[in-house]
Structure 1
Amino acid sequence: MQPPASAPEIIAPDALLVEVAWEVCNQVGGIYTVIRSKVPATVQGWGDRYCLLGPYFPQQAQGEFEPMEDHELTLLTDPFAGAVRQMRLLGYDIQYGTWLITGRPRVVLINPFQVYDRLGSIKADLWQHHGIPTPDHDDLLHQVEAFGHLATIFLQILTAEVVPPQRIVAHFHEWMTGVAIPVLRREQVPVHIVFTTHATLLGRYLAMNDPNFYDHLMQVDWEAESRNFNIETAVRVERAAAHGSHVFTTVSELTVRECIYLLDRIPDAVLPNGLNIERFVALHEFQNLHQQYKAKIHDFVMAHFFQSYAFDLDNTLYMFTSGRYEYHNKGFDITLEALARLNYRLQQSGMEGQVVMFFITKRPFTSINPLVLQSRAVLDEVRETCAAIERQVGERLVYAAAASTDHRLPNLSDMVDDYWRLRYRRTLQSWKTTQLPSVITHNLIDDAKDDILNFLRRSNLINNQHDRVKIVYHPDFVSPTSPLFGMEYGQFVRGCHLGIFPSYYEPWGYTPLECVARGVPAITSDLSGFGDYVMQNVPNHEDKGIYVVQRQEKSFDEAAEELTNMLWNFVLLNRRERIMQRNKVESSSELFDWKNLRQYYDRAYSLALERK
C-alpha cells in the first residue's frame, strides 16, 4: 500500500465533518489516542468546518473540555452552534465548547443519561427495525444506545442548519457510536456516513481464547460465538454500522480479513493510524533526554536490586513492554519465552552486562509491595547521608587545602564526623539483605493465577544474581505520582533502550509507534497493523530501528527464536551503534505523522460524498 499523492490543504470546501467517538474528551481506551493525535492535522485541513461529537461525562471531561457560556453561544453563526441552540430549545442537556488539546477543536458533548426514561422505546425500535436485542441490566449498552439516539437527533437537526450545496460527512468510530448509523439510514437523513472499526469486537475475544485464531477465522459462526462470549448486542450493532455506512473502513490490512469473515463486508478503505509527531519532537535534545530519564530509571534499579547485589549500570540495557493485560494477544507469552532464552545465551557467552526488562501493564492489586517501597525510601536516606558527608568533606577539604603547605591530598576519611560515619554504616546495614529482589513491585489480588508470574516461577527467572536478564513487573501505569518511578510514561519510554511488542493480535499498535516517535527502537510483529504497515511502506526498516517478528504462519517456537535472535543482536550493539540507531529511529518518525497519514481519511471522506 503506497501513500496517496499529496492532497490539497483544503478538503471538500462544500462539506462539514462531524467525527463521532466515545473517547472525545473521555480517556477510556486506545481510540482516545487516535482521535486526540489526529485533531491538529484534521483542523489544518477542515478548519471551522470540523467538529467532534461524543458523550458528556462531567468527571472525565472537566480536565480537558472548556464549555462555552450561553452568551458566547448566541453570538456564533456556525451550523454546529445552531444545532446545539435548537437542541437546547427542545430541552436537551448538550454542551458546546473547545477540547483543550493541540488544534483546539470544536466539540459537542451530549449527556446520555437524560433519555434513560426513553430506553424502552429506543430498545424496542432497535429490535423491531434492526434485529438488535438489548438485555435489561447492561448499563454500558444502555449508555451506548441512549447516546446513539441523541447523536441521531443532533445530526438530523444539523442537516436543517446547513445551506445547500453544503453537505455533512459523519465519521463514526467503533461499535459504541454505531447505534446511530442504521437509524440515520432508515430515516434517510442526508448525511454521508463513514464507519471505522479499529478492531472487530468478536475478533478481539476470539484471539484471546483461540491460539490458532487466524487459521480458524474462515469457519467462525459469528452468531454462535457472539452469544458464547455474551456480546451479541454489541456485535449486532457493529455489523449494522458496517453495513449501514456509505464507506466502511478499518485501520490495517490485517483487520480487513476480520471484517470480511466476521462482519460480512469488505472494507472500502484502510485508514492507518499516526501520531502528531510535533508533540514528541525534541530537536537535537532527544539523546540528552534519553540520558536524563535513564538516570531516573537508574535510581529505581539501584533501589530495587542493589540492596541484594550490585551490577554495572553503565553496562545495563533497559527494555520494556506495555499495554493492556492480554497475555497472549499482546505477546507477553512470547516475550517471556525469548527473555528466558536470552538469559541462557548471555550466561553461556560470558559477556559482561545485564538486561533489565520492565513489564508495564494494569492488574488488580492491593498495594505497592512494602519491602519495595521501603527499599526505595532507605536508598533516599543513603543518598541524603552521602550528600551530607560530601558537603562536610568539601568544606573541610577547601580549608585544609588553603591552610596546607603540603600539596598531597589529605585523608578524606578523617574529615567525616563520627555521627555521619555511624549513620552511614547503620543506614547501609538496615538496607542490605540476602533476599532476592522481587520480580513484581505490587501485591496482586490473585498472584497465584497471574500468567506472567507463573511463567517466571516455572522458568526460575526470579532475579537470581547469576541471571543476566532481570525482571521488573509493574502492574500499574507509570506516572509522576508513583513513588517508585516519579516520571511520566513518555519520559520512562525515552529512558529505555528498546520497546518489545510482538503482538499476536493488534489491529494497529500505538506502543511501538510511540517508541519510534521518541527515538527508541522497537520490536513489533507482522500480526500488528503497525508492523504490517512498516513491512509494506518502510524499506530497510531494521536499519531504522523498527524490527518486525514474523508470526504469520510461524509456530510459537519459531517466532520465539526469531525474537531471541533480535534481542541477542541488539545486546551485541556497542554504545556508538545504539546512538546511531536512535538517530535513525527518530528521523524515521516523520513517516507516521498525521500530516502524511491524514490523506487516507480525506480520501474516505471524498468517497463518502460521492455515494448517496
Structure 2
Amino acid sequence: MKKDRLFPDYIFESSWEVCNKVGGIYAVLSTRAKTLKEKLGDNLVFIGPDCWGENECPYIEEDTKLLQAWKKQAATEGLNVKVGRWTIPGKPVAILVDFKPFFEKKNEIYADMWNKYNVDSLHAYGDYDEASMFSYAAARVVESYYKYFISKKKRANKTVYHANEWMTGLGALYINDRLPQIATIFTTHATSIGRSIAGNNKPLYEYLEAYNGDQMADELNMQSKQSIEKQTAAHVDCFTTVSEITARECAELLDKPVDVVLPNGFEDDFVPQGKEFDHKHQVARKRLLDITRALTGDEVSDDAVIISTSGRYEWRNKGIDVFIEAVNRLRLSANELDKEVVAFIEVPAWVNCKRGDLAERLQKMAQGEKFDTPLDTPVITHWLNEQQNDRALGMMSWLGMRNQKGEKVKIVFIPCYLTGDDGIVNLSYFDVILGNDLCVYPSYYEPWGYTPLEAVAFKVPCITTDLAGFGLWANSECGGKSTIDNGVEVIHRTDYNYNEVADDIKQTVIKYANATKNKQTRMRNNARALSQKALWTHFIEYYYNAYDFALRKAEARKEK
C-alpha cells in the first residue's frame, strides 16, 4: 500500500451475483475477495439477493451466531436476511437479503429516485423491478449495519459502498442521499445500452462518437436501465469500468468519463498442479473424444486437436456465429491439417434433457463395445426445447456440418451448464477446459473477457479479439500485438470484418495443430506465464486507487 493513499476501514460490496453464480461478475468478486479479506477481515461484507427463499443457497454457509444481535435489529426494520460466509477462498461475510417485501413500496421508491436524481423508472419492464428492489434492500442493509455498528464508534471510520452493474445503481444513489459520509463506487462491467446496440446488430464502434445514449435507449426500449446507469455514474464518488474499450463507451453513451479503470484479475488457486493437472487433462480429453466417437460412430484419433468456445449464448456479441463459420472453413480446408480437429461449443441453451441414446452408447463404450454408425443429429449432446429454432444448430445445418464419417474436422454442441452432473459430460467447466488444446473467443462485444483469462491460467492458449478488454491488455503486455506464440492470438475485429476474422481463426488453428509438440508446449507455457501477470496481487492496486479517490471525495463533502 502506498502510504499517502486513504484506505477504507469497512467495505460493503453489492452485486446480483454475490452467492449467485450467473455470470462473469461472480468470478470477479469471488476471486478478489481473498485479497481484500486479508486486509479487512470481517469488515469486508458482501451483499447479494436472497433468490433461494426456503431452499438452501449452495454458495453460503449460514451462521446463526454471526451478527446475531444486528440481525434481530434488522428484522424490526423490515429486513429479512441470511447471514453467513460465502463459500469462496477467504470465506468473507455475506448477507443475502429478501427484497420481495419492497415491491409493495415500489412506486414510492421510484418516485423518490425521480424527485432526487431524475431516474426514469416509468419504462421499467422485465428484470428492472426485481434488480431495483434488491438494490434498494441492499442499501437498507448497509444503512442498518452502519447505524448499528459503525456510527457509534468513537473514531470516524472510513467506509466504502461498492455497487456493481446497473442492477445496484438505485442502492448506490440511496446511500449517496441518506449516508453521505459513506464513499460510493459504481462499476459498470458493460453498459446496458452498449451491449444492446451490439446485440441488435448495429455497428457499435465506428459510430460510437455519433451515438446519443439516451436516444438509442428510446429506440431500443432501454430507457429505464439507461437512466439508472447514467444517473448513478454521474452522482457516485468514483465511477469505474473494467477496460479502456468500455471506458470509451461510458464517456460516449453515459456522458460521464470513468474515474478509474479496474481490470479484472483472478486467483489461480483453483488450477490443479503437477500430477493432478496431467490426470485431469487426460480424463477431460478422453471424455470429450469419447462423446464425439459415440455421436458420430467414427474413429477419432487420440491425438486430435480439441478446440472450443464458451460463455453466454450471445450469438454475435460472443462471436458464436463467427466461430461456427471458422470451423466450417477449417472443415473445407482439412487437407491443410496434419491432425484431426474436434470443435466444441460449450454454451448453455434451452436444454430439455440429456440424450438417452448418447448416454447409453457412452456406457456401452466404457464396457468395450464399439459403434460404427452415427446417432441421429450427431452434433449435439442434449436435446433442446424448440430445437428447430436454435441458431447454432440452424447455421451448422445450413453449412452442411453434419459430422460425416471420415471428416477430419468435427463440431459438437454441448448446450448445458457444465456443473459436473449433466448426464453426458459429467465434468465441471474448469475440468473441461483442461481437456482443450486451444480455446477460441472471437467476441464482438466483451468489456473484459474472463473466459480467455481462465483458459490461459489452465495453460490452454487461446484466440480472442482486440474488441475484448482482455485482448487489448494481452496486446499491451506483449508490446503491441500478441500472437499464438505468446499464448494468446489477438485478432483484429471491427464492425464489418467478419470474413477476415473467420479466416484468421482458421489459420491460427491450422498453425497450432501443425506445430511440433515442443512448439505447442512453448505456447502453453507462454499462455500460463501471461496469466500470472493478471493475478489480483497485481490488479488490486487499481482498486486501492479507486478507494482512495472515493474516500477523498467523501472527506471533501464532510468538510463543506
After TM superposition, the score normalised by the length of structure 1 is 0.83
Q: Distance in 1 between matches of 2:345 and 2:411?
A: 8
Map of 1:460-609 to 2, 5 A cutoff?
A: 460-539=400-479, 541-542=482-483, 543-552=485-494, 555-609=497-551
Q: Distance in 1 between matches of 2:132 and 2:392?
A: 37
Cα 1:279/1:9, change in 2 over 3 Å: farther
- Equivalent of 1:16 in 1, 6, 10: 10
Map of 1:144-543 to 2, 5 A cutoff?
A: 144-160=131-147, 161-162=149-150, 163=153, 164-187=155-178, 189-283=180-274, 285-305=276-296, 307=297, 309-314=298-303, 316-347=304-335, 349=336, 351-383=337-369, 431-433=371-373, 438-539=378-479, 541-542=482-483, 543=485
Aligned to 2:33: 39
Q: Distance in 2 between matches of 1:465 and 1:242?
A: 56
Q: Distance in 2 between matches of 1:324 and 1:521?
A: 20
Cα offset, 1:355, TM superposition: 0.3
Q: Which amino acid aligns with 1:568?
A: I
Q: Distance in 2 between matches of 1:435 and 1:66?
A: 44
Q: Distance in 1 between matches of 2:291 and 2:228?
A: 47
1:14 and 1:165 in contact (8 A); partners too:
no
Q: Which amino acid aligns with 2:310?
A: S
Q: Distance in 2 between matches of 1:101 and 1:112?
A: 24
Q: Distance in 1 between matches of 2:84 and 2:538?
A: 28
Q: Distance in 1 between matches of 2:317 and 2:124?
A: 29
Cα offset, 1:483, TM superposition: 2.6
Q: Which amino acid aligns with 2:471?
A: G
Which runs of 5 or more structure 2 residues have no equivalent in the other structure? 555-560
Cα offset, 1:11, TM superposition: 7.8
Cα offset, 1:93, TM superposition: 1.4
RMSD: 2.6
Cα offset, 1:480, TM superposition: 2.0
- Percent sequence identity over matched residues? 28
Question: Could you tell which deviates more after superposition, 370-379 or 273-282?
Answer: 370-379
Cα 1:48/1:183, change in 2 over 3 Å: closer
* Structure with greater proportional helix content: 1
After TM superposition, the score normalised by the length of structure 2 is 0.90
Q: Distance in 2 between matches of 1:523 and 1:223?
A: 34
Q: Distance in 2 between matches of 1:50 and 1:365?
A: 38
Aligned to 2:63: 68
Residue by residue, what CA displacement relative to the aligned partner does 1:395-421 show, whole Å, maximum 9, x if unpaired? xxxxxxxxxxxxxxxxxxxxxxxxxxx
Residue by residue, what CA displacement relative to the aligned partner does 1:475-525 show, whole Å, maximum 9, x if unpaired? 112232223212111111101111000101011111111111111111111
Q: Distance in 1 between matches of 2:90 and 2:5?
A: 17
Which runs of 5 or more structure 1 residues have no equivalent in the other structure? 1-6, 75-80, 384-427
Question: Could you tell which deviates more after superposition, 146-155 or 130-139?
Answer: 130-139
Partner SS for 2:16: coil
Q: Distance in 2 between matches of 1:172 and 1:207?
A: 24
Q: Which amino acid aligns with 1:203?
A: G
Q: Distance in 1 between matches of 2:309 and 2:505?
A: 13
Partner SS for 2:333: helix
Q: Distance in 1 between matches of 2:505 and 2:453?
A: 18
Q: Which amino acid aligns with 1:480?
A: G
Partner SS for 2:209: helix
Question: Could you tell which deviates more after superposition, 556-565 or 325-334?
Answer: 556-565
